[in-house]
Structure 1
Amino acid sequence: MYPTSAVQPTHVGQGRLAVAAHPSRLASLAPQDDGEKPGLDDFMGTSLYRLIVLGVTAICVVAPLSLVIYQSFLTAPFFDPSAKFGLLAYSFVFEDPDFSQAFWTTIIVAAGMAIIAVPLGALLAFLMVRTDVPGRNWLEPLILVPIFVSAVVIAFGYVVAIGPVGIFSTLAKDVLGFVPWNLYSIPALIVIAGLTHVPHVYLYSAAALRGLGSDLEEAARIAGANPFRVAVNVSLPMIMPAILFAGVLVFFLGFELFGLPLVLGDPQDVLVLSTYLYKLTNKLGIPSYQLMAVVVVVIIAVTAPLVFMQRLLLRQAQRYVSVRGKGLKTQPLRLHGWRWVAFGAILLWLFVTVAVPLFGITLRSFVTTWGEGVKLLDVLTLDHYRELSDYPNVIRGILNTLGIGIIGGAAAVACYTLIALAVHRWTSGWTRVVDYLVMVPRAMPGLVAGLALLWVFLFVPFLSPLKSTMVSIWLAYSIVWLAYGMRLVSGTLLQVGPELEEAARVSGASDLRAKRDVTVPLVRYGILASWLLIFLIFVREYSTGIYLLGPGTEVIGSLLVSLWGTGAVDLVSALSVVNVLMIGVGLAVAVRLGVRLHG
Structure 2
Amino acid sequence: MNRNLLPIRFPITKNPLAILFWVVVGFTILLILYPISFLLFGSIWSTRPGREGNLTLVNYIDVFSDPHTLTLLINSSTYALGSALLAVTIATGLAFITTRTDAPFRNYFRYVPILPIILPGMVDNLAWIYIFRPNTGLVNVWLRDTFGFSRDFVLFNIYSMPGMIWVMGISLVPLAYLVISASFYSMDPALEESGRIAGMRLRTIVRKITIPLMMPAILSVFFLVFIIAFESFETPAMIGLPAGIDVFMSNIYQAIAWSIPPNYGLATANASILLVVTVTLIYLYRRATKRAEKFQIITGRGYQPRLMSLGRWKYFGTGILVGYVILHIGIVFSMVFILSLQPFWDPRALFSRITFEHYAAILGRSSISRALINSIIVSAITATVVVIMAALVSYISRKSKFKRRGFLEGVGMLPLAFPGFVIGLGFLWMFLTLPIASLVYGTLGVFVLAFLVKYLPHGIRFTSGAVMQIHNDLEESSAIAGAAWTRTVRKVTMPLLRPAMLAGWVYVFVVSFRELSSVIFLITARNQVLSTVLWDLFQNGSVELLAAASILLTIFLWSVVVIAMVIFRLKLR
TM-score between the two structures when normalised by the length of structure 2 = 0.92
Matched, 1:76 2:51: no
Q: Which residue is equivalent to 2:206?
A: 231
Give the one of 248, 253, 257 matched to 2:232: 257
CA distance in 1 between partners of 2:348 and 2:82 (Å)? 37
1:99-127, CA deviations, whole angstroms, 9 ceiling, x for partnerless residues? 33222100111121222222332232222
Q: Give the aligned residue type for 1:596.
A: K
CA distance in 1 between partners of 2:513 and 2:301 (Å)? 36
Give the one of 156, 170, 178 matched to 1:181: 156
Give the one of 292, 305, 329 matched to 1:330: 305
CA drift of 1:319 comes to 4.2
CA distance in 2 between partners of 1:158 and 1:511 (Å)? 55
CA distance in 2 between partners of 1:245 and 1:408 (Å)? 28
1:201-231, CA deviations, whole angstroms, 9 ceiling, x for partnerless residues? 3222222223321111112122233333322
CA drift of 1:186 comes to 0.7
* Residue 407 to residue 75, structure 1, CA distance change in 2 (3 Å): closer
Matched, 1:301 2:276: yes
Matched, 1:111 2:111: no
Q: Which residue is equivalent to 1:94?
A: 64
Q: Which residue is equivalent to 1:474?
A: 448
CA drift of 1:373 comes to 3.2
- Contact kept, 8 Å, 2:84 with 2:225, in 1: the verdict is yes
- Consecutive unaligned residues in structure 2, runs of 5 or more: 1-7
1:523-563, CA deviations, whole angstroms, 9 ceiling, x for partnerless residues? 21221122122222122212111111222322222222222
Matched, 1:426 2:397: no
Task: Give the aligned CA root-mean-square deviation in angstroms.
Answer: 2.3
1:341-375, CA deviations, whole angstroms, 9 ceiling, x for partnerless residues? 11111222333233222211111111212324315
- Contact kept, 8 Å, 2:342 with 2:350, in 1: the verdict is no
Matched, 1:453 2:427: yes
Q: Which residue is equivalent to 2:4?
A: none
Q: Give the aligned residue type for 1:115.
A: L
- Contact kept, 8 Å, 1:152 with 1:542, in 2: the verdict is no
* Residue 591 to residue 339, structure 1, CA distance change in 2 (3 Å): farther
* Residue 344 to residue 38, structure 1, CA distance change in 2 (3 Å): closer
Q: Give the aligned residue type for 1:152.
A: M
Task: Give runs of aligned pairs for residues 360-439 of structure 1, distance below 5 A.
Answer: 360-376=335-351, 378-439=352-413
- Contact kept, 8 Å, 2:241 with 2:250, in 1: the verdict is no
Q: Which residue is equivalent to 1:67?
A: 38
* Residue 564 to residue 414, structure 1, CA distance change in 2 (3 Å): same
CA distance in 2 between partners of 1:393 and 1:361 (Å)? 22
* Residue 151 to residue 447, structure 1, CA distance change in 2 (3 Å): same
Q: Give the aligned residue type for 2:214.
A: I
CA distance in 2 between partners of 1:426 and 1:39 (Å)? 12
CA distance in 2 between partners of 1:513 and 1:291 (Å)? 53
CA drift of 1:381 comes to 0.7
Q: Which residue is equivalent to 1:349?
A: 324
CA drift of 1:484 comes to 1.2
Q: Which residue is equivalent to 2:477?
A: 503
1:398-457, CA deviations, whole angstroms, 9 ceiling, x for partnerless residues? 222233333432232222222222223234442332232123211111122112122222
* Residue 264 to residue 283, structure 1, CA distance change in 2 (3 Å): closer
CA distance in 2 between partners of 1:399 and 1:431 (Å)? 38
Give the one of 522, 526, 531 matched to 1:552: 526
Q: Which residue is equivalent to 2:5?
A: none
CA distance in 2 between partners of 1:86 and 1:281 (Å)? 20
Task: Give runs of aligned pairs for residues 121-200 of structure 1, distance below 5 A.
Answer: 121-164=91-134, 165-176=136-147, 177=149, 178-200=153-175
CA distance in 1 between partners of 2:59 and 2:253 (Å)? 16
* Residue 541 to residue 486, structure 1, CA distance change in 2 (3 Å): same
Matched, 1:569 2:540: no
Q: Give the aligned residue type for 1:90.
A: Y
CA drift of 1:284 comes to 5.8
- Contact kept, 8 Å, 1:182 with 1:188, in 2: the verdict is yes
Secondary structure of 1:265's partner? helix
Q: Which residue is equivalent to 1:516?
A: 490
Q: Give the aligned residue type for 1:91.
A: I
CA distance in 2 between partners of 1:41 and 1:60 (Å)? 23
Task: Give runs of aligned pairs for residues 586-597 of structure 1, distance below 5 A.
Answer: 586-592=560-566, 594-597=569-572
Identity of aligned residues (%): 26
Q: Which residue is equivalent to 1:50?
A: 21
Q: Which moved more, 1:529-538 or 1:386-395?
A: 386-395
TM-score between the two structures when normalised by the length of structure 1 = 0.88
CA drift of 1:247 comes to 1.3
* Residue 116 to residue 199, structure 1, CA distance change in 2 (3 Å): same
Secondary structure of 2:184's partner? helix
* Residue 510 to residue 309, structure 1, CA distance change in 2 (3 Å): farther
Query: Whose relative contact order is higher, 1 or 2, with alpha carbons under 8 Å and at least 6 apart?
Result: 1
CA distance in 1 between partners of 2:273 and 2:116 (Å)? 28
CA drift of 1:270 comes to 4.9
- Contact kept, 8 Å, 1:38 with 1:509, in 2: the verdict is no
CA distance in 1 between partners of 2:508 and 2:553 (Å)? 15
Q: Give the aligned residue type for 2:105.
A: G
* Residue 274 to residue 375, structure 1, CA distance change in 2 (3 Å): closer
CA distance in 2 between partners of 1:270 and 1:336 (Å)? 46
Q: Give the aligned residue type for 1:233.
A: K
CA distance in 2 between partners of 1:554 and 1:226 (Å)? 59
Q: Give the aligned residue type for 1:570.
A: E
Q: Give the aligned residue type for 1:227.
A: L
CA distance in 2 between partners of 1:198 and 1:210 (Å)? 17
* Residue 431 to residue 319, structure 1, CA distance change in 2 (3 Å): farther
CA distance in 2 between partners of 1:337 and 1:43 (Å)? 70
* Residue 465 to residue 206, structure 1, CA distance change in 2 (3 Å): same
CA drift of 1:245 comes to 0.8
- Contact kept, 8 Å, 2:37 with 2:426, in 1: the verdict is no
Q: Give the aligned residue type for 2:248.
A: L
Q: Give the aligned residue type for 2:24.
A: V
1:281-322, CA deviations, whole angstroms, 9 ceiling, x for partnerless residues? 167632322211101110011110211222222222244333
Secondary structure of 1:535's partner? helix
Give the one of 547, 550, 553 matched to 1:579: 553
- Contact kept, 8 Å, 1:542 with 1:558, in 2: the verdict is yes
- Contact kept, 8 Å, 1:441 with 1:479, in 2: the verdict is yes
Q: Which moved more, 1:39-48 or 1:399-408?
A: 39-48
* Residue 326 to residue 505, structure 1, CA distance change in 2 (3 Å): farther
Q: Which residue is equivalent to 1:247?
A: 222
- Contact kept, 8 Å, 1:543 with 1:558, in 2: the verdict is no
CA distance in 2 between partners of 1:277 and 1:145 (Å)? 31
- Consecutive unaligned residues in structure 1, runs of 5 or more: 1-36
CA drift of 1:275 comes to 0.5
